[in-house]
Structure 1
Amino acid sequence: MIDLEEKQERVLLAGVETAQNFQAFESSMVELAELTKTAGGLVIDQFTQKRERPDSRTMIGSGKLEQMRWAIEVGEIDTVIFNDRLSPRQNVNLEEALGVKVIDRMQLILDIFAMRARSHEGMLQVEEAQLNYLLPRLVGQGIMLSRQGGGIGSKGPGETKLETDRRYIRTRIENIDKALKKVEKTRENIRQKRSKSGIFRIGLIGYTNAGKSSIMNALIGLDKEQYEQNELFATLDATTKAVQLVEDFTVSLTDTVGFIQNLPTELIKAFKSTLEESANVDLLIHVIDASNPHHEIHEQTVLKIMEDLKLTNIPVLNVYNKMDIAPSDFLPTLSTSLQLSIKSENGVQWLKTAILEKLHELFEAFEIELPYEKAYQLPELRKSALVQSVVEGENAYQIKGLIAPELSWKLNEF
């Protein structure tokens, strides 16, 4: 009988600890194992080495390389994944020395993105990132050029023989750029329509697998369209939905791709328009996985990327999620934070209350009169503003409430 079941790839992980990366080294190696699992690999062994600087030829020392060669043979290893970014020459040298496929953390992440991309835009973004990564690595020799057989590091363009034609790759990148610019223009038109709609905009941001999609689904309620799973990069495509916080008051909620340490520059460039969704909101909800022992490093990674994306001027509500499985001695490290489990009975209500409290800080008070003959406009007003009181006057309703300063123009309609 022929066994058609795909064999799980056996993986050996490797990393070099230096003075530059020692603080986050342990957490990044744990994360590398999770990334490998997400890509469908089985981690068999792990090798790390402390060095003043990585070896220019093979990243890791010759003695450790010999140990790895022995472990590869004993453990029947298919693939070696380095936690560090390998130069094209290092990649070739390692594959020649170890006799198996060698990829780095960057290519592993690109591989997972290729698996996760669902929309046409997402697929184009990932392909462009992969091609930009591949182009300088066309060395014309070694195991790199025989990856058409599949496995980790060969999703998307890696499964074709594009490696043999640099000109084709450059042309393809140019075509993808043009296609993405059209998509970006469409996305910008949608953003402008949203900004003119008079709806307050909230964006979810955070480290991958912090629970952003779970929060979005919980706030949406029954209309659970956003994919959620306990895995890295479960969501790639930006998704925006309407959420009713109280009475008729409605906000738009946007979920985008999660962040990770050393997010490849190729991905940041390719996903520029998607990441910019976070820059066009009025409030950011920074979601943190309280159960993760490395949550402080994750927080700093997100804060650094927020700075790079110029999001630091947007108000932020910090939310520690997964408190139901967090350590009993957990202490938050970010100020003005909320602690909850979005899966718990009270989680959604606590989050809605915290958002409303934040809006009370950000909104400005208003008083208007609404003539009785225009009473039909009241529900429309409630969608854009937090109406606190409606009192019947002699000829009109006396209305008091709060509204976002950038949406105060909506009051002119009433």
Structure 2
Amino acid sequence: MENTINVLKEKVILVGCQLQTMSDQHFQYSMEELASLTKTANGEVVVSLMQKRERPHPATYIGKGKVNELLSLVEEINPDVVIFNDELSPSQLRNISSALDVKIIDRTQLILDIFAGRAKSKEGKLQVELAQLQYLLPRLTGQGIALSRQGGGIGTRGPGETQLETDRRHIRNRIHEIKQQLSTVVRHRNRYRERRKKNQAFQIALVGYTNAGKSTIFNRLTTAGSYEEDLLFATLDPMTRKVLLPSNYQALLTDTVGFIQDLPTTLVAAFRSTLEEVKEANLILHIVDSSNEDYENHEKTVYDLLKQLDVKEIPIVTVYNKRDRTPGSFVPSPNEDYIEISAFSNDDLHLLLEHVEKVMKEAMEPYSIKVPAREGSFISRLKSETLIEKLQFNEDDETYEIDGYALQSHAITSQLEEYSQRG
């Protein structure tokens, strides 16, 4: 079985250009990430070709000497695909394709390809196809031979190449169609959000760099069965489930698509409606893989994307995951509310939920009331719609003394005020 899987893998040459502004360490991490992306797309890296330059060559990305070196490698190794660690301009892609008789794709195409393979919902598939077509449109000129040669494999998942190189009008019409379909989906999603707002559940969003362990944490807390694997972008479509906190209060937990450095702008735009889920949250759990040596850059990438989404004033708890594999050199980022856990430790997950509950209380309004025992329906509402800390029956006057916390915007707060005034 293992041999069959190896046969199916495509042979890949990676090409990277280290600019003066990039440290050796950062460039190395970037190339390692490209190799991980390639693995996720079922490719096997045979060799990596790297060059240091002040800036990318405007015509061929790498210099003429490196192009010749790459040509020799292609003739010697006969790879299925060459992947560049940057987004190539249409002219760079055209020039390199004419110099090498092999399929050429760039980092953006690779990410789009992975997304195409991971999308399961109708919305996810439409968003990926839109991003792929918008990427492809300016790159059609002179691509006829290259596209017809592709046939299949990495860089060809998604809408396919049928007539794309000759029919720009077809692409523009398809882009228009997809945008119309997506606007309908977005309206449905907004209606669903409004319904959730009316129900006034406390909403928690999981965000983080791809492969930080979001889906594992999501599954362990909700038993939802979301796809999880040690691959980049294992989860693409957002999923929302109920999570039970130590106080028995039920909150809503949403798993989101993983972020990545240099995420293609077409993808950020296409997935905007999906990522809007984060803006609706009352609390954000930022999951960080503390075992990854480049965790600081991963954190920065997530914060930059949250800034792009205009996420402000939502409390953020940083959850450093994989503490069982964290090196001794690890130092948590300063000035952050954080907790260190392993997603596979039940004790750690319980501590995480306790921490979440503590932060929730700070974002909610405390109340302390007495409710007659005969008002069972209201007590039942309090149990399901507020976070109860104390529920004690008083036999003398047959009332329940209830202390708890409620969302300030919740419809139940007006009734809570009435009971408070009654004393």
Match 2:91 to one of 89, 92, 113? 89
Within the alignment, does 1:124 sit opposite 2:126 as a pair?
yes
SS in 2 for 1:257: coil
Residue 153 (structure 1) aligns with: 155
Within the alignment, does 1:317 sit opposite 2:317 as a pair?
yes
Using the TM superposition, give the Cα deviation of residue 107 of structure 1 relative to its aligned residue in structure 2, in angstroms. Answer: 0.3
Match 2:220 to one of 197, 215, 218? 218
Give the aligned residue type for 2:303: L
Give the aligned residue type for 2:272: K
SS in 2 for 1:150: coil
Contact 1:147 1:158 in 2 (8 A): no
Within the alignment, does 1:275 sit opposite 2:275 as a pair?
yes
Closer/same/farther in 2, CA of residues 346 and 199 from structure 1, 3 Å limit: same
Gaps of 5+ in 2: 417-423
Using the TM superposition, give the Cα deviation of residue 203 of structure 1 relative to its aligned residue in structure 2, in angstroms. Answer: 0.3
SS in 2 for 1:55: coil
Residue 231 (structure 1) aligns with: 231
Which 10-residue stretch deviates more, 327-336 or 344-353? 327-336
Q: Structure 2 CA distance, aligned partners of 1:10 and 1:148?
A: 14
Match 1:402 to one of 396, 405, 418? 405
SS in 2 for 1:176: helix
Gaps of 5+ in 1: none
Matches within 5 A, 1:7-406: 7-22=8-23, 24-141=26-143, 143-220=145-222, 223-334=223-334, 335-392=336-393, 394=397, 396-406=399-409
Give the aligned residue type for 2:273: S
Give the aligned residue type for 1:341: S
Q: Deviations over 1:86-122 (max 9, x none)?
A: 0111101111112211110000000000000111111
Q: Structure 2 CA distance, aligned partners of 1:147 and 1:378?
A: 68
Q: Deviations over 1:279-324 (max 9, x none)?
A: 1110000000011111111000001001111113210010000111
SS in 2 for 1:92: helix
Using the TM superposition, give the Cα deviation of residue 413 of structure 1 relative to its aligned residue in structure 2, in angstroms. Answer: 4.4
Closer/same/farther in 2, CA of residues 142 and 175 from structure 1, 3 Å limit: closer
Q: Structure 1 CA distance, aligned partners of 2:143 and 2:219?
A: 48
Q: Structure 1 CA distance, aligned partners of 2:379 and 2:210?
A: 41
Contact 2:212 2:321 in 1 (8 A): yes
Q: Structure 1 CA distance, aligned partners of 2:147 and 2:11?
A: 20
Contact 1:148 1:158 in 2 (8 A): no
Using the TM superposition, give the Cα deviation of residue 339 of structure 1 relative to its aligned residue in structure 2, in angstroms. Answer: 0.4
What is the percent sequence identity of the aligned residues?
A: 46
Contact 1:147 1:154 in 2 (8 A): no
Using the TM superposition, give the Cα deviation of residue 396 of structure 1 relative to its aligned residue in structure 2, in angstroms. Answer: 3.2
Contact 1:207 1:298 in 2 (8 A): yes
Contact 1:148 1:161 in 2 (8 A): no
Contact 1:200 1:384 in 2 (8 A): no
Q: Structure 2 CA distance, aligned partners of 1:357 and 1:19?
A: 46
SS in 2 for 1:128: helix
Using the TM superposition, give the Cα deviation of residue 395 of structure 1 relative to its aligned residue in structure 2, in angstroms. Answer: 5.5
Using the TM superposition, give the Cα deviation of residue 358 of structure 1 relative to its aligned residue in structure 2, in angstroms. Answer: 1.3
Contact 1:35 1:108 in 2 (8 A): yes
Using the TM superposition, give the Cα deviation of residue 261 of structure 1 relative to its aligned residue in structure 2, in angstroms. Answer: 0.4
SS in 1 for 2:412: helix
Closer/same/farther in 2, CA of residues 287 and 141 from structure 1, 3 Å limit: closer
Q: Structure 2 CA distance, aligned partners of 1:130 and 1:147?
A: 18
Contact 1:96 1:142 in 2 (8 A): no
Give the aligned residue type for 2:152: G
Q: Structure 2 CA distance, aligned partners of 1:212 and 1:351?
A: 13
Closer/same/farther in 2, CA of residues 148 and 82 from structure 1, 3 Å limit: closer
Using the TM superposition, give the Cα deviation of residue 142 of structure 1 relative to its aligned residue in structure 2, in angstroms. Answer: 5.4
Using the TM superposition, give the Cα deviation of residue 4 of structure 1 relative to its aligned residue in structure 2, in angstroms. Answer: 9.7
SS in 1 for 2:86: coil
Q: Structure 1 CA distance, aligned partners of 2:337 and 2:247?
A: 26
Which 10-residue stretch deviates more, 267-276 or 148-157? 148-157
Contact 1:148 1:160 in 2 (8 A): no
SS in 2 for 1:405: coil
Closer/same/farther in 2, CA of residues 176 and 295 from structure 1, 3 Å limit: same
Using the TM superposition, give the Cα deviation of residue 404 of structure 1 relative to its aligned residue in structure 2, in angstroms. Answer: 2.6
Closer/same/farther in 2, CA of residues 258 and 45 from structure 1, 3 Å limit: same
SS in 1 for 2:174: helix
- Alignment RMSD: 1.8
Q: Structure 2 CA distance, aligned partners of 1:246 and 1:207?
A: 28
Q: Structure 1 CA distance, aligned partners of 2:190 and 2:219?
A: 25
SS in 2 for 1:387: strand
TM-score, normalised relative to structure 1: 0.94
